[in-house]
Amino acid sequence: MSQPSNSAIPRVRFAPSPTGFLHVGSARTFIFNWLYSRRNHGTMILRLDDTDVERNTDASVQSIFEGLKWLGLGWDEEYKQSERLELHRKIAWSIFNKGLAYRDFTPAHTSDSEKSGPTKFDPKDLRVDTFISPGSVAVRITHLPSGTVVVSKDEKSESKNREQALLMLREQLNEGGRGTWLFNPGMPELSREESDRRAAAGEPFALRFRVPRSTVVRFTDAVYGEQMKAGADIEDFALLRSDGMPTYHLASCADDADLRISHIIRGQDHLTNTFKHVLIFGAAGYAPPQFAHLPLLVAPDGTKLSKRRHGPVVSVTTYRDAGFLPQAFINFLCLLGWSPKDDRTKMSQEELINAFSLEGINRANAVVNFKEIAPGDGFREKVAVAAGIPWPPEETFDPKAVWLNAEHIRGLAIEGLSERLLPIVREQFPNATPEKMLRVTPLIRERIKLLRDVLTAADFFFLDQLPPYAPAELIPQKGDAAMALKVLQKAQELLPNVEFKHDPLDYALRAAAQELGVKAGQMFQPIRVAVCGRKNAPPLFETLEVLGKETTLRRLGLAVEKMGQVASR
């Protein structure tokens, strides 16, 4: 029997199953594993848990790699479960040979509870009614052939109620509501001879773990502490499916044992599964590794994150595409369910590594505080995208994530930020040069929260022609059209002779304001609008300096024209 490699270097793994895109919860699990391995000079392993052939997709594998690549954290070893099936089977049969597992010839349930609904019932046999109940939508299902009626109204959502109702119906219909399922009758007791005979005859079977009913299974979780569960409460779970494929539990444990994983850091949804895993490790002759379960990430409504219900905010690539810095995203995720126990929030990768410990992990679920995009908002999306408005809107992200991102952006050197901004700008303005970008960046660094904001914050630097704006925009505070015109004309008159540098511009325009008898702000505002096309923009002199004399004068001319038309009316 091997020992958990406490003394050796820690080995941790991230083991996603490629059944969907990489979502934020998985990303956080990856990050915590990574931090633990780096903190303790251990090994980070990526293992694709792809034993569910039915649901695995290449697209999902792509999405996971894409997301992980963006995070930029990396790993040391990589495995695919589907390439290690022999190992899994070998371990399963070794457990069988010790008498700790048995063949179950009961036909498989026909996929009981798929998301789309029950397949066990013929839809024609069911009448489903919904009605409003306090806080949610209640569901009543009538099973026509038997006349059985069930109502679920206590769940939070219609879908949950529907699920619950189906469950209740099934229980009422199945031999008058049996208790908790532990094993299929007759199967654990099958003699070895009969079992072998039926198997040899080609009868399909699943291999099930023989859970010892009289024992108590224990383990110590690094986050949740001492855990114990009576064997009488653990069902005889499957190890091998009737097609010979290993189940998740078996494959996962077999690989964790074989890969000498020392610490399993994963979502809390596996906490109760861990009792089964401890059983498998023991039966296979291995000491179980150290477990550490992470609190779940949930949506503002308390339910677990799902793309269907909560939209694109649960997918890692959405954050990437909206212009989050990976470092900021990582920082944000770390603060969900973990705390450095001091008052730091903005943390660099180094700081995170140094501060990370399993002790800092919290036990309660953490809400990702995004605003839901209602599923029916496909229309809104289309409108927004067509109008060039960024999608999804900023409010759909957790405000703390956005703030943290702005904070990391501000912490970036001009050169570094400029390099990240340029490709985004170039998508819309192919002519943008690195030199220009470098000059624009300092003017917007404090003004953008997401990288994509560069497009709205700095558009006028790259645009040939300003989008149309209302002439009234040109009128300064406590001023009128005449004042705007006066100011613009004055600027037009003196700017050709001014050097386009901050100080000379400052001096010249302030002097002009005094000369005209207007306040500095009243002088600057019309010029700003003339040149930027809007009131809110970076400081004027720096902006003019970057824009250059030619563009400035051209835009001033256009503004004078515009103002002139208004004034003459």
Partner RNA sequence: GGCGCUAUCGUCUAGGGGUUAGGACGGAAGAUUCUCAAUCUUCAAACCCGGGUUCGAUUCCCGGUAGCGCUACCA
Name which of residues 348 to 367 contact RNA (CB under 7 A). Answer: 360, 362-367
Helix (H/G/I), strand (E/B), else coil: 317 = helix
Cβ(203)–Cβ(242) under 8 Å? no
Nearer to RNA, 426 or 534 (CB): 534
Task: Report the half-sphere exposure of 31 (CA within 13 A, side-chain side).
Answer: 31
Q: Please, which of residues 372-401 interact with RNA by CB under 7 A? A: 398-400
Residues in region 34-73 near RNA by CB under 7 A: 49, 51-52, 55
Spell out the residues 6+ positions from residue 293 whose beta carbon is closer than 8 angstroms to its own: 221, 223, 224, 265, 266, 267, 268, 270, 271, 274
> Which residue lies nearer to RNA by CB, 58 or 243?
243
CB of 331 to RNA, least distance (A): 11
Report whether 361 contacts 294 (CB < 8 A).
yes
294 exposure class (CB count in 10 Å sphere: 0-12, 13-18, 19+): buried
Burial class (CB in 10 A: 0-12, 13-18, 19+), 487: buried
Residues 508, 524 contacting (CB under 8 angstroms): no
- Cα–Cα distance, 192 to 75 (Å, whole number): 45
Q: Which stretch binds RNA (CB under 7 A): 60-68, 103-111, 375-383, 485-493?
A: 103-111
Tokens matching residue 272: 């109760």
Shortest separation between residue 530's beta carbon and RNA, angstroms:
13
159 binds RNA (CB under 7 A): no
Cis peptide bond N-terminal to 471, omega within 30: no
Q: Which is nearer to RNA, 373 or 513 (CB)?
A: 513
What single-letter amino acid sits at 300? P
Site for RNA, residues 460 to 499, rule: CB under 7 A: none
Residue with tokens 């293992």: 47
Q: How far is CA 103 from CA 31, 96, 107, 190, in A?
A: 39, 8, 12, 8
Instruction: Work out which of 64, 92, 336, 373 binds RNA, going by CB under 7 A.
Output: 336
Minimum CB separation of residue 341 from RNA in Å reads: 5
Determine which residue in the list 82, 195, 441, 525 makes contact with RNA, applying CB under 7 A.
525
426 vs 447, beta carbon nearer RNA: 447
Question: Footprint of RNA on residues 227-246 (CB under 7 A)?
Answer: 227, 229, 233, 235, 237-238, 241-243, 245
Q: Does 175 bind RNA (CB under 7 A)?
A: no
The interface with RNA within residues 11-40 (CB under 7 A) comprises: 17, 19
CB of 33 to RNA, least distance (A): 15
- Contact region with RNA (CB under 7 A), list: 69-77, 295-303, 481-489, 551-559: 295-303
Near RNA by CB under 7 A: residue from 494, 498, 520, 558: 520
The interface region with RNA, picked from 124-132, 141-149, 323-331, 406-414 by CB under 7 A, is: 406-414
Q: 61 vs 564, which CB is nearer to RNA?
A: 61
